[in-house]
Structure 1
């Protein structure tokens, strides 16, 4: 008989958000929105995590860095091939979706895959799903990695992941609220509704 002491993810309503905060990288001029209820910790990369009372775990890692050379739109295919090769180097990785696109000078890569976690540590031996988005504009690389266990947890958090991924931009979200871009005196995580 199944253990009914804890609800399964399918029994739990989808997450809802009461607003968003703007995460901003003043050095690389990238930003994104994340659910107000989530926690932002760390330095580089920053880790976005659901609140402790959430029914299941997830983590989103966000990092921007300057490259030694500019990326051009014609580089999209080779960058996608390199990303796929890197993911395939994970012994258990299964690529589910991979796309490369360019809009103006920006190159945008997305890849979704599953993998079995290393046998040591938290989540060891479990199958996880990861959604990667890597965006390039000139010499800036902006990487977002969202992951959760592939037992329904990933699908539970997909709405949050989608919001984070689709609001990532090479522009300042705080300017939408304040009319001022990239000002250091604005709080790091600007409230946006």
Structure 2
């Protein structure tokens, strides 16, 4: 009987090891991603952002400027209007991923997914679930560990033009594409970012 038990035990151990290694690799990659963005203490958690949003397939369209105060994943104020609790705005999860909060939240389940080529460069992928429904796929430039793309729901979001504010590094331009057609449908550019220590007067959680 022992001769049969030993191979079974070894088989189970050998097949368990890669799972642990994968978990360790994922954690190491998250640490590298956060470091490339300025470090965990520099991540944007409560901030004011001014952006120019062009919701059209025409990249030359002027678009409109807007100013938001955001505390992902729970709050997004556009003026005095709160978009998450009041409007159930799903884009807050894209902002949460853009600021890397979704990756560092202990409640998130993060797993590696196959690499792709994005903007003619290799990119590794991480899938976030548990805190985001449906799961969200994030892709990072393999050389610099910077966010290059997010696939979520029916859209693909491509990131570029990296800038820095108060130690936080972020992509200032995003273009959204429909998965079904591959055509662009919005363009947004971050014009200003301001880290906040507290909510501006007149806003309430």
TM-score norm. by structure 2 comes to 0.31
TM-score norm. by structure 1 comes to 0.32
